[in-house]
Structure 1
Amino acid sequence: MGVKGKLIASVEVKCGGHLVHDIFHTKTHHISNICPNKIQSFEIHEGETVKVGSVVNWKYNDDGKDKISKQVIEAIDPQTKSITWKVIGGDLLELYNFFTIITSCDHQWTTWTFVYEKKTEDIPEPLVLLGFVLHVTKGIEGHFSSIKSMLLNGS
């Protein structure tokens, strides 16, 4: 049995956590346009949208390396604005026996939780990936700030 771990990080988002949740829940395909240097593509393999049971595939660039992550949506809670993504394929499963990503939003905060089991003790904690998702979150915040600025300036 591997070594289990849990990492949690929260980042303030001035645009409001509800907008970040909305992007991940209903407009996920826009993330590759918002953060093209990090997310190359998002595809739904099974299901129509991001709903419980949907199988999705992310192509992303983490730490200068192109990677993929195939995930199934395990849970969506509109009240807490959370989505639980279970990794079922891709690069993460080369290092981890299981990997679950939970994103949740509350007022001005977005929280990322990673629950995982490393295959061996010498595998590093997924801190680089945590930094990656925080960077994507800040990219989404910047996107909404740009839109707000354009609207206020009448552009």
Structure 2
Amino acid sequence: MTVHGKMEIDLEIRAPADKFHEVFSCRPHHISNMSTDKIHGVDLHDGDWGKAGSVISWSYTHDGETKVAKEVIEAIDDEKNSTTFRVIEGDLMKLYKNFVVIVQATPKEGGGSVIHWTLEYEKLSEEVTEPYSLLQFCVHVSKDIDLHLMEQAQAQA
């Protein structure tokens, strides 16, 4: 078993890639209104919303437990609709030495998008399990955001 790992998953959504990307890059604090049972709040600790180098804190429920994660936004690539977060404090740091989350939205021909999640991590020990349930958590949050964005688009139509 290795202590370094990388997990990836793709899912298709109906919302446009740029709209989905904007949520994570510029408005992560709105996710608690889109995925209320999973994300309870996102607070800005340092910097500005939508700016690389900013520090944000997430309060969320994962595997039936309320947890927190403080992250620095390492990179925002509006051309590739990609946002990279590095976890610097919180519950994940009890199990991992390093943990990076990358979310990228790619437009699909004919409409909608493909969301690509990447988790890169270094476990504190070989006994730590792979973060499969966290990857599924990301998928479920993505689906909640997609539903919200599509309902918002219909309301504006």
State the TM bucket, normalised to the shorter chain: over 0.9
Identity of paired residues, percent? 38
* Aligned partner of residue 9 in structure 1, secondary structure: strand
Equivalent residue number for residue 98 of structure 2: 98
What is aligned with 1:10?
10
Residue 120 of structure 1 pairs with residue 125 of structure 2 = yes
Question: Which residue does 2:146 correspond to in 1?
Answer: 141
Unaligned residue ranges in structure 2 (runs of 5+):
108-112
Pick which of 140-149 and 77-86 moved more: 140-149
Provide the rounded CA distance (Å) in 1 between the counterparts of 2:74 and 2:27: 18
For residue 81 of structure 1, what is the aligned residue in structure 2?
Answer: 81
Match runs of 1:13-52 below 5 Å: 13-52=13-52
The answer to whether the Cα contact below 8 Å between 2:59 and 2:66 also exists between their aligned partners in 1 is: yes
Deviations 1:104-124 (A, max 9, x none): 111011111000011111211
CA shift digits 1:64-102 (9 cap, x unpaired): 100000001111111111111000000001001100001
State the alpha-carbon separation in 1 of the partners of residues 99 and 115 from structure 2. Answer: 19
Measured on the aligned residues, the alpha-carbon RMSD in Å equals: 1.2
Structure 1 spans left out of the alignment, 5+ residues: none
- Whichever residue aligns with residue 80 of structure 1, its letter is K
Report the secondary structure of 2:37's partner residue. coil
Partner of 1:53: 53
State the alpha-carbon separation in 2 of the partners of residues 149 and 78 from structure 1: 25
- Is the contact made by 2:26 and 2:51 (CA closer than 8 Å) also made in structure 1? no
The one-letter amino acid paired with 2:56 is: V
Structure 2 letter corresponding to 1:115: E
The alignment of Structure 1 onto Structure 2 pairs a total of residues equal to: 151
Q: TM-score, normalised by structure 1?
A: 0.93
Q: What TM-score comes out, normalization by structure 2 length? A: 0.92
